[in-house]
Structures are given as structure tokens and as C-alpha cells.
Structure 1
Amino acid sequence: MPPLSKRIGILGGTFDPIHIGHLALARQFSRCIGLTELVLLPAGQPWQKSDVSAARHRLAMTCLASARMLSTTRVTVSTDEIYHSSPSYTTKTLSAWRKYHGTSASLTLLIGADQLLRLHTWKNWRRLFEFAHIGIATRPGFDLSQADATVLNEIWQRSVSADTLRSTTHGYVFRDTTLSLDISATDIRQSIRERECNFSREISNVPDVVWKYIHRHHLYQT
């Protein structure tokens, strides 16, 4: 089957802060699936997290990182969730995106190994496949059996090649095992707190423009 004219990847997250692991995941799937558009989707009030930074800061950092993210793929930042005061759910967001695009676009939700391990705790997670594909990036040597058994069953049944994601609208899984980065926003925030006495030193795992924003607004300091 020929590829659909619109192949959209959706990368959601708290982005507190957005880091080079997010960017590497986006670049990898842009290449594998041949994305025509990448959507960065910062969460509003993630229902499984507390004490996140203000939405305006996380949105600003995401916009800064997106500016030079990909050279061959259009990159946009969606505010569909960021201004919600109530918890945001991915299934609801994807449902709205599918309604908007109809059958004209391949939609792929992009997640990493850490999100895969929590996927069974997401609200109505099985319904994600009604609206989008799922692209999973797992680092080399990652033990897939760590995931919930019901999630694993869905993955095995729905696993296809990247070509299938390009030519169909939703319902499948593509897993990439080549991305070797293992970066945590939690670790980045902790590193910044530990360097509070020497805050001018850069943190290598965030883009330079994001680091400058963190520095300017004194984020993640105790």
C-alpha cells in the first residue's frame, strides 16, 4: 500500500524539562516512519504526577526546543492539553485528533520504554489503538517482559513494520530498539538542584536554548 500523504507523530510528555532524549526519539521516528509532521504535546496536569513546573515554563521550553528540532519534518507544539486545569488523558486527546483528520492521516503516538512500562495504568489505554498507532522506542538490551502482560499481548498482536504505519491510519505497533539514550528529566532536575551553588554550569542533557531558559528563570532550584 502507498504511504498516506499525512504521517503525523505525536510526542507527549510533561517536558519538565524537555531534553535531548525526547529530541532523539523524535528524530528516530521521523526517519523510520517518514513523518510529515511531528507534534509536541506538553501535558497540562498529568494525573499520575504532582508538583510539576508551571505550564507556561514547560510550554516555553518545548517551543524553544522545537525551533531547530528537525530539518525535513514540520514540527508544531500543541496546546491541546497544556492549559487544562484538570487531568489530561491521552486517549481523549487522540480521539479529538482522529476526528479532525478523519481517514486522511496516519497518527502515531510516540513513547519510550519508561512510558511502555506504565502503559497499563493509563486511563482506557486499549482505546489508544482506535485512534492511532503506537511507536515504541526501547533501548538495546531492554527487557520487554518487564511490561504488563496484557500490554505485551497487545504489542505482539499488533506489531508491524514501519511501512505499515506509513500506509494505515491507526491500530498497530512499531518498535524501534536502536535508540541507546537513557535520560531522565527527574535526574536532570536533581542535577540542577545539586549545582545550585554553581548554576552557571550547563547541564549537557538539555538543548542549549532550554538550559538558558532554565538559568534565566531559576527553575528547579530549591
Structure 2
Amino acid sequence: MWSFSTIRSAEIGILGGTFDPVHNGHLAAARQLLGVANLDQVWLMPNATPPHRTAAPVAPAEDRIRMVELAVAGHEGLLPSRIEVDRGGISYTIDTVRQLAREDPRQRFAFLIGSDAALQIRSWHDADALLDEGYFVIFNRPETALAPKTLRELGFAPARSRIVQLDTPAIAAHQVRDRVARGAPIDDLVPGAVADYIRTHKLYQV
């Protein structure tokens, strides 16, 4: 039976992404997931090379992980993770699932994915193994809510998946990059330390 409650499902959540750059929407989602998914920690994990994008990230991996480090500083329960950046290459989620299982087999990790990403799960690398070996918390937003029936049809097993509801600001990383390229302020989109880092390192400028 699918659960929409806050019953504990895992202790550590993995919120992956390009984070190019990390923005206030990412942080709002991570903070809410700590509570509604009843997690002890959420790790924000930038990928090295995203598998679903034809274009490479605009900012180098070291800059993206540094911005995540700055963004989560002072936020209890939110931590940066270098696992995929350090592994390098294309960041397939199944590889991360297996690496975490090898390194800490007693710890259960929940992969936190939005309903839009959940709809594409069958296109992910080694999807059958991923759905069999991974544990997922799928977060619905009001505009993109998925029904349990849809998730079952995609291959998410109720015993290895949970659904939670989030209400986060609609911010996209490309909005930040576009504003920087135009010389417009970004302080309402990203944490102050991230805005300072972008300016200091001249990221996303044309």
C-alpha cells in the first residue's frame, strides 16, 4: 500500500542534480524533505556529467560542488556530497546506489526525485536494476502530482517507494544563468554566499 504519511522510510536522502547553480528552490525542497519524509539528513549530490543532457554543465564540477557547500552551510541536516563528482564520468544513479551499498551496507539511502523525473525513470540507465535495488521518495508538487497507479505502471514498487507532497518556489537554474548573463541581480534566486561566489568567479557571464 502506498504511503502519503511521514512514517520513517529512510535516514539519509540523496538529492541529486546538476546544481548549475544550486538555488533557493533546491534548498527549499531539501529542507521540506527532511520533515515530510522524516529523514535525518539530506545530501545534495552534484553529478559529474548528467546522463540525460546533451550539453555539458556550464560551470565546472568543482565550482558546482563548492556552491552547494556554501548553500548548505548552517542548515542543520543538509550536507554536500562529492560522491558523483569524485567518481567522474557519466553519473548514472544505479552506480551511486551500488557504491553507497558497498561503502555503508547497513545504511538505507533514499533517492529523492521529483514527479517529473519519476515519469522518465524507464529511460534511466539500467532502469530495471535501479528500481529493484534503489529506494525512492518521489516528491509531488501541486502542478505535477502523480497518482500511485501511475507510479506502479512505471515500475515503482510500493515497498521501495514513498510519495510526499512539497510546496517549493518555482525556480530553475537556467533563470539564474540567464540573469547573470544579462547583468541582472540574482539575490532573490540563490543564497547570498552563492551569489557572491558566482560574481567573484565570473561564472555564467557571456
2:72 matched to which residue of 1?
Answer: 66
2:176–2:186 contact (8 Å) kept in structure 1: no
CA RMSD of aligned residues (A): 2.5
1:192 matched to which residue of 2?
Answer: 180
1:87 matched to which residue of 2?
Answer: 90
2:101 matched to which residue of 1?
Answer: 98
**1:19 alignment partner AA:** H
Q: 1:65 to 1:144 in 2, by over 3 A?
A: same
2:81 matched to which residue of 1?
Answer: 78
**2:13 alignment partner AA:** G
Residues 1-222 of structure 1 aligned to structure 2 (within 5 Å): 7-49=11-53, 50-52=55-57, 53-69=59-75, 71=76, 73=77, 75-102=78-105, 104-144=106-146, 152-155=153-156, 157-158=157-158, 172-194=160-182, 196=183, 201-222=185-206
**1:144 alignment partner AA:** L
Return the alpha-carbon distance in structure 2 between the equivalents of residues 100 and 143 of structure 1. 34
Return the alpha-carbon distance in structure 2 between the equivalents of residues 150 and 31 of structure 1. 22
Return the alpha-carbon distance in structure 1 between the equivalents of residues 175 and 119 of structure 2. 18
Return the alpha-carbon distance in structure 1 between the equivalents of residues 103 and 50 of structure 2. 23
2:44–2:80 contact (8 Å) kept in structure 1: yes
1:139–1:181 contact (8 Å) kept in structure 2: no
Name structure 1 gaps, 5 residues minimum.
159-170
Q: Following TM superposition, by how much is the alpha carbon of 1:129 offset from its aligned partner in structure 2, in angstroms?
A: 3.4
1:10–1:107 contact (8 Å) kept in structure 2: yes
Identical-residue share of aligned pairs (%): 29
Which deviates more, 205-214 or 44-53? 44-53
Name the TM-score, length of structure 1 as normaliser: 0.77
Q: Following TM superposition, by how much is the alpha carbon of 1:85 offset from its aligned partner in structure 2, in angstroms?
A: 4.2
Return the alpha-carbon distance in structure 2 between the equivalents of residues 45 and 61 of structure 1. 17
2:37–2:164 contact (8 Å) kept in structure 1: no
Name structure 2 gaps, 5 residues minimum.
1-6
Q: 1:35 to 1:150 in 2, by over 3 A?
A: closer
- Report how many residues are paired: 196
SS in 1 for 2:143: coil
